[in-house]
Amino acid sequence: MEWSIRLVASASIIVIFLILLFVMREAATLFVSASTTATESTSSSAPSGDLVPESYDPGAADAPSSSEPEVYNPDAEEPATAEPAGEPGAPGQFIYASKNPKYPEIYNPDTGLLPADIDDVESEAETPDTLARQNVLTKLAGDSWQPVGEVPKFGLAPLLIGTAKTTIIAILIGAPLGILAALYVAFFAKRRVREFVKPAIELLAGFPSVVIGFFCLVTVASFIQDLTGVQYRLNAVVGGIGLSLAVIPIVFSIAEDALSAVPKTLREASLALGSTEWQTAYRVMLPAAAPGVFAAVLLGIGRAFGETMIAIMATGNAPLSSLSPLEPARTVAATIGSEMGEVVWGSEHYGVLFFMGVILFVFSFSLNAVTELYVKKRLIKKFQGQ
């Protein structure tokens, strides 16, 4: 009996570890095997940026090769990289070519008018490993997210800003409401009210997030728009409210458990000193339950930035780098959720999505670690004496 429990427990830990390993391995293709990534992306039709400078290599221009005509012919070249499967003469090539009339002018090796960044890429092209690595890092550090554009941009900044915006709004709304509700149910509510309210809110924790997302999409968005007259119907505030609906039950449930676990005698002692119920709850019970309440808020944060469906439906899902809460936002989790289904396997985009998964994991892990090691101790010290 005991060995089976041990087996199941270690198996679940191993599974979690393997999932992490898998995510990290998929993300690592971005950084480690640069040459394979490059060839992979060539063969897998991804309109990868580093292909263009290779084709335009001026060295190749001096010594004409078989591929040269393609390189110099703007009509033929563009569809060749963007859509290698397409036959020459397909209507697509003309569209691609006409879309980029500037390319031949800029990259024309005969005139020598090469932009500086292209020069950089060329020099790195001699050592493909560093090329890919620097490329990826500068790409990830960019300020726009357009993964399926002709020149794909993988700047994470808008996504991180969007995640931070919605998470902060969700916690600012959800944590106080959840904690106050927990205080009410734990200390003020009559027994009959408590027996009804507690399971009702906890039921909300198991509420399908798609329903919450739909509710925000339809009702909350209209309400916020009527209230503020804001231009964008779906924005970070609506998304934050939606996420807070997911956060509140978690914060409530755990905070209520922590508050109820504080010995009743403590409450009696405080009341016997002539404090009101509220003073007792706020000044004695809440500090006594501080570690549990803090853990509740942390789990709420984890839920808020990991939540996918509400973020997809209610935030507007537009990767803007705006800090304004009344503009649309897109979270990291929502990006993975909405793009993973369509991404080309093994492509750069695919790697970036997994890399964001690693970011999510590392963030929640370090959040917990920092709390455990540092914040919790200080908090306990502050509220409960040294």
Partner 1 sequence: MAKDLPLKIEAHDFSFYYGAKQALHSITLGIPERRVTAFIGPSGCGKSTFLRSINRMNDLIDGTKTDGHMVVDGVDVYSKDIDVVTLRRRIGMVFQKSIPFPKSIYENITYGLTLNERPSKSDLDSIVESCLRRSALWDEVKDRLHHSALGLSGGQQQRLCIARAVAINPDILLMDEPCSALDPISTGKVEELITELKDTYTIVLVTHNMQQAARVSDFTGFFLMGSLIEFDRTRSIFTSPSKKETEDYITGRFG
Residues lying near partner 1 in the complex (CB under 8 A) are found at 191, 263, 265-276, 279, 283-284, 287-288, 383-386
Nearer to partner 1, 31 or 383 (CB): 383
Contact at 8 Å (CB) between 85 and 45? yes
Nearer to partner 1, 24 or 271 (CB): 271
Alpha carbon distance 16, 23 (integer Å): 11
**Residue 79 phi, psi dihedral angles, 5° rounding:** -65, -25
Closest CB 171 distance from partner 1, rounded Å: 25
* Own/partner pairs, 31-36, CB within 8 angstroms, 24+ separation: 31/132, 31/133, 31/136, 34/128, 34/129, 34/130, 34/131, 34/132, 34/133, 35/128, 35/129, 35/132
19's CB contacts (< 8 A; 6+ apart) are none
344 secondary structure, DSSP code:
P
Q: What angle do CA 229, 235, 241 make, to 5 degrees?
A: 100
Closest CB 382 distance from partner 1, rounded Å: 10
Nearer to partner 1, 164 or 271 (CB): 271
Q: Scan for tokens 């009339």, then name that residue.
A: 101
Alpha carbon distance 366, 84 (integer Å): 43
Closest CB 385 distance from partner 1, rounded Å: 3
Q: What is the CA radius of gyration of the chain?
A: 27
Nearer to partner 1, 58 or 287 (CB): 287
Q: Is 241 exposed, middle or buried (0-12, 13-18, 19+ CB in 10 A)?
A: buried
Closest CB 288 distance from partner 1, rounded Å: 5
Closest CB 369 distance from partner 1, rounded Å: 25
Closest CB 270 distance from partner 1, rounded Å: 7
Closest CB 194 distance from partner 1, rounded Å: 11
Both tokens of 170, joined, read 């969700």
Nearer to partner 1, 151 or 273 (CB): 273
Nearer to partner 1, 199 or 263 (CB): 263
Instruction: Return the H-helix or E-strand segment holding 279.
Output: helix 277-280
Closest CB 283 distance from partner 1, rounded Å: 7
Nearer to partner 1, 228 or 276 (CB): 276
Q: What angle do CA 279, 296, 188 make, to 5 degrees?
A: 35
Closest CB 381 distance from partner 1, rounded Å: 9
Q: Which 3 state secondary structure label does DSSP give 153?
A: strand
Nearer to partner 1, 6 or 283 (CB): 283
Nearer to partner 1, 4 or 386 (CB): 386
Nearer to partner 1, 230 or 289 (CB): 289
**Residue 119 to residues 68, 111, 113, 133, Cα–Cα distance (Å):** 19, 14, 10, 17
Closest CB 265 distance from partner 1, rounded Å: 5
Using alpha carbons, select from 53, 142, 62, 49 the residue that is nearest to residue 106: 53
The Cβ of residue 8 has, within 10 Å, a number of other Cβ atoms equal to 10
